[in-house]
A and B are shown apart, each in its own frame.
Chain A
């Protein structure tokens, strides 16, 4: 899926949290947005998807201007979103959470086995309420549900948050596989710089609601530049 964003601004009340943002994700590309907390990354994603009112800006999907579309219809074009907070129905079971995602999947849904395949620890906990899962398992469930929707664009907000290094590596591996197999586009917000360096084709650094830097992980000095800005600015 090709996603293009032009001049997106959004905020709460009278203030703007993100201002005049442009973004492009090509089919099969993985774009990462990094930056410290409070810089507007989640606001950006939510405004992009229409979960937050956009003050200005246009969103174009595969050449189609979808700015006026309500969120649920935009999502049905093939976008799966795993939010940073309140992403699961805590009172519903793991199984129900997964099925909930499948309900809106486009182009049919994934077979049950295929959905759970990369996540064996979830298969053991199908009947548990999602709220009783550990933080890491909840992230896995979020990812599983998102993938089960057979999306063309996967939008992840801090999916590696609070995961131990082996779990992070697993997530990165799963995402890589999905990209290769299905040509999935990725738009991730991620504080974990190492994971992002492993996964992304392009990295954008956000500061106070604007994109400050753009680097490709393979470019020389990219990591140092990004680290410096992250910690010291």
Chain B
């Protein structure tokens, strides 16, 4: 069996390598094989393909819909143009100067300027609470429209005519072809390394479920700004090469029509695949230029229709289904070798300090608009205990838990922590609290769809620390309890399965495993047994007991299953109508008259 799989692996990588090598060689031989016009077209196509890669990294992988990507490209080209031309009084170019060094410096400057501009736009878009996916799309679109318009009004940009004639004549046509091909190769290489690295997982996590990434401690806002700026720098590099090769920059290069083009290439080719956008750009540009002589407008119409059709019916783009088909034809659908494995790692843990107060809530109030949800909740959470929060619906349990995990929610009263490195709650963001060990597990599985089990655990283990930008960790070190949970629940047989493909019970298990892998100091669980079978509930119970009794983790959990609570809880707090109805051991609660009345409705005769 193992050697069959090994052979399968060899075939897969072998086929991929061969295909890539053939393509690269064919491309390099282009000038020899093709005529002047084709070479010229392909040179342009390579540039556009590299540009498409930069957008795919930002949009396809990180989920940031940048509708103004042309602007970053344009800045790159403009930098080269401005540094190598002199503009006369009437706005026309009068002189071109500068050696190779100037061009190189200009390209670098363009990258810097672009990254900075993108960082400003990104900071504006991502740094506030109400930001949505639309917001960045619209702001970048607006930036693109505005830039295109403003370009025409400036003299230093060449205004209406733009800047022209500043191509670097040091290199001839064929040399430029190879340079652009190399540019495409470099961009692709950067993309591949980045997306296959651990950081690439984080990018996809941000795309799939930003909130969850925050809850695992990642500074999502900062990361998005960085990714946008990085993509802009890459686009500017491409733009700089374009400027040096073609020697033209004008307002349409910044405009929203060109931005749309790039989006179309990526969407049709296949977002989040790198290769898809490359092929999309090359094929579409090549086809449109060739057809320019016969049916230019009909072709564009066709492309537009294809774009709409792809977005509606094949949102992943054309490459993935084609790739799968190809794979099946060439490889016969053989299994994949296991990619990653889990390794138990040593983690701080122990039962000293048991009983100390870890979180103290005092007269906490909270309201959603006019609705008062919490009316003065006072309670303590003690180290290494398992505290259960029960109560009828609408009592405020989930709200209380959400509040503990998010210091930016406005509330009355106070919440204080006594965790290592964390004492203040108010104003602390979700990710800040998560980095200090306050980890929340949601009631409904909130996972990263495209990440496998192992990849999710890898990210969880980082707990907000930046993952490697190039390394691809195969042996993932996670706390022993997480490994054990995977074994007990059967997750360890699905390490390379995507979260979206897991059955519900395993999704819940992964949710829990991820939370454990983050090795929380204070674990907040919202209905961990919802929808689980009896067997699954037992596994969860075992893990939680182990975490609390032997590893010293503090656990606060919301539950409706009173049997479960009875077995596990060190203490129980009953919430009703936003206030604490009772607080004591499981037995005390069961016997309490107030609780029975609370559960059964007012004035029950004895």
A36, A168, A231: the one contacting B560 at CB < 8 Å is A36
Contact of A161 with B603 at beta-carbon distance under 8 Å, contacts A12-B531, A233-B562 already known: no
Assess the B370–A194 pair: CB atoms within 8 A. Answer: no
The secondary structure that dominates the A interface is loop
Q: Does A50 contact B (CB under 8 A)?
A: no
* Chain B residues within 8 Å of A29, by CB: none
User: How long is the Cα–Cα vector from A194 to B562 in the complex, in angstroms?
Assistant: 22
Q: Does A121 contact B (CB under 8 A)?
A: no
User: How long is the Cα–Cα vector from A73 to B20 in the complex, in angstroms?
Assistant: 57
In the complex, how many angstroms separate the beta carbon of A92 from the nearest chain B beta carbon? 15
Assess the A158–B393 pair: CB atoms within 8 A. Answer: yes
Assess the B601–A162 pair: CB atoms within 8 A. Answer: no
* Chain B residues within 8 Å of A158, by CB: 393
Q: Does B369 contact A (CB under 8 A)?
A: yes
* Chain B residues within 8 Å of A231, by CB: 562, 596, 599-600
Mask, B573-606, CB within 8 Å of A = 1, is 0000100000000000010000010011111100
Assess the A194–B604 pair: CB atoms within 8 A. Answer: yes
In the complex, how many angstroms separate the beta carbon of A105 from the nearest chain B beta carbon? 29
Assess the B562–A17 pair: CB atoms within 8 A. Answer: no
* Chain A residues within 8 Å of B393, by CB: 37, 84, 158, 161, 191
* Chain A residues within 8 Å of B507, by CB: 13-14
Assess the B530–A165 pair: CB atoms within 8 A. Answer: no
Mask, B299-321, CB within 8 Å of A = 1, is 00000000000000000000000
In the complex, how many angstroms separate the beta carbon of B586 from the nearest chain A beta carbon? 12
Q: Which residues 371-389 in B have Cβ within 8 Å of A in the complex?
A: 371
Assess the B600–A165 pair: CB atoms within 8 A. Answer: no
Mask, A11-30, CB within 8 Å of B = 1, is 11111110000000000000
* Chain B residues within 8 Å of A191, by CB: 392-393, 599, 601
Assess the A15–B531 pair: CB atoms within 8 A. Answer: yes
In the complex, how many angstroms separate the beta carbon of B395 from the nearest chain A beta carbon? 9
User: How long is the Cα–Cα vector from A163 to B371 in the complex, in angstroms?
Assistant: 14
Interface size on A (CB < 8 Å)? Answer: 31
Assess the B577–A162 pair: CB atoms within 8 A. Answer: yes
In the complex, how many angstroms separate the beta carbon of A94 from the nearest chain B beta carbon? 14
Assess the A15–B505 pair: CB atoms within 8 A. Answer: yes
Assess the A39–B600 pair: CB atoms within 8 A. Answer: no
Q: Does B504 contact A (CB under 8 A)?
A: yes
Contact of A15 with B504 at beta-carbon distance under 8 Å, contacts A162-B394, A194-B604, A227-B600 already known: yes
Assess the A17–B577 pair: CB atoms within 8 A. Answer: no
Contact of A14 with B601 at beta-carbon distance under 8 Å, contacts A36-B560, A38-B560 already known: no
Mask, B2-39, CB within 8 Å of A = 1, is 00000000000000000000000000000000000000
User: How long is the Cα–Cα vector from A39 to B392 in the complex, in angstroms?
Assistant: 12
In the complex, how many angstroms separate the beta carbon of B246 from the nearest chain A beta carbon? 52
Cβ-closest chain B residue relative to A227: B600
User: How long is the Cα–Cα vector from A16 to B562 in the complex, in angstroms?
Assistant: 20
Q: Does B332 contact A (CB under 8 A)?
A: no
* Chain B residues within 8 Å of A75, by CB: none
Assess the A38–B530 pair: CB atoms within 8 A. Answer: yes
Assess the A194–B505 pair: CB atoms within 8 A. Answer: no
Cβ-closest chain A residue relative to B369: A131
Interface size on B (CB < 8 Å)? Answer: 28
In the complex, how many angstroms separate the beta carbon of B562 from the nearest chain A beta carbon? 7
* Chain B residues within 8 Å of A164, by CB: 602
User: How long is the Cα–Cα vector from A139 to B170 in the complex, in angstroms?
Assistant: 80
Mask, A133-160, CB within 8 Å of B = 1, is 0010000000000000000000000100
Assess the B392–A37 pair: CB atoms within 8 A. Answer: yes
* Chain A residues within 8 Å of B444, by CB: 12
B504, B527, B600: the one contacting A194 at CB < 8 Å is B600
Mask, A33-48, CB within 8 Å of B = 1, is 0001111000000000
Cβ-closest chain A residue relative to B371: A135
Mask, A111-138, CB within 8 Å of B = 1, is 0000000000000000000011001000
User: How long is the Cα–Cα vector from A230 to B599 in the complex, in angstroms?
Assistant: 8
Q: Does B503 contact A (CB under 8 A)?
A: yes
B371, B530, B604: the one contacting A193 at CB < 8 Å is B604
Assess the A38–B599 pair: CB atoms within 8 A. Answer: no
In the complex, how many angstroms separate the beta carbon of A11 from the nearest chain B beta carbon? 7
* Chain B residues within 8 Å of A165, by CB: 602-603
Contact of A232 with B562 at beta-carbon distance under 8 Å, contacts A12-B531, A131-B369, A193-B600 already known: yes
In the complex, how many angstroms separate the beta carbon of B491 from the nearest chain A beta carbon? 15
Cβ-closest chain B residue relative to A192: B601
Assess the B370–A131 pair: CB atoms within 8 A. Answer: yes
Contact of A194 with B394 at beta-carbon distance under 8 Å, contacts A14-B504, A36-B560, A135-B371 already known: no
In the complex, how many angstroms separate the beta carbon of B353 from the nearest chain A beta carbon? 33
Assess the A39–B601 pair: CB atoms within 8 A. Answer: no
Q: Does A74 contact B (CB under 8 A)?
A: no
In the complex, how many angstroms separate the beta carbon of B272 from the nearest chain A beta carbon? 23
Q: Does A174 contact B (CB under 8 A)?
A: no
A14, A36, A162: the one contacting B503 at CB < 8 Å is A14
In the complex, how many angstroms separate the beta carbon of A44 from the nearest chain B beta carbon? 15
Q: Does A195 contact B (CB under 8 A)?
A: yes
Q: Which residues 175-220 in A have Cβ within 8 Å of B in the complex?
A: 191-195
The residue in B394, B445, B507 that gathers the most chain A C-beta atoms within 10 A of its C-beta is B394
In the complex, how many angstroms separate the beta carbon of B532 from the nearest chain A beta carbon? 8
Cβ-closest chain B residue relative to A132: B370
Mask, B236-264, CB within 8 Å of A = 1, is 00000000000000000000000000000
User: How long is the Cα–Cα vector from A38 to B563 in the complex, in angstroms?
Assistant: 14
Q: Return the 4 tightest CB-CB contacts between A and B, nearest first.
A: A38-B560, A192-B601, A15-B504, A14-B504
Chain A residues engaging chain B, CB cutoff 8 angstroms = 11-17, 36-39, 84, 131-132, 135, 158, 161-162, 164-165, 168, 191-195, 227, 230-233
11 A-B pairs in the complex with CB atoms less than 8 angstroms apart: A14-B503, A17-B531, A38-B530, A132-B370, A168-B602, A191-B392, A192-B602, A194-B604, A227-B604, A230-B599, A232-B562
Task: Apart from A162-B394, A231-B600, A233-B562, list 15 A-B contacts with CB within 8 A.
Answer: A14-B503, A15-B504, A15-B531, A16-B531, A37-B560, A38-B530, A131-B370, A162-B577, A165-B603, A168-B602, A191-B392, A193-B604, A230-B599, A230-B600, A231-B596
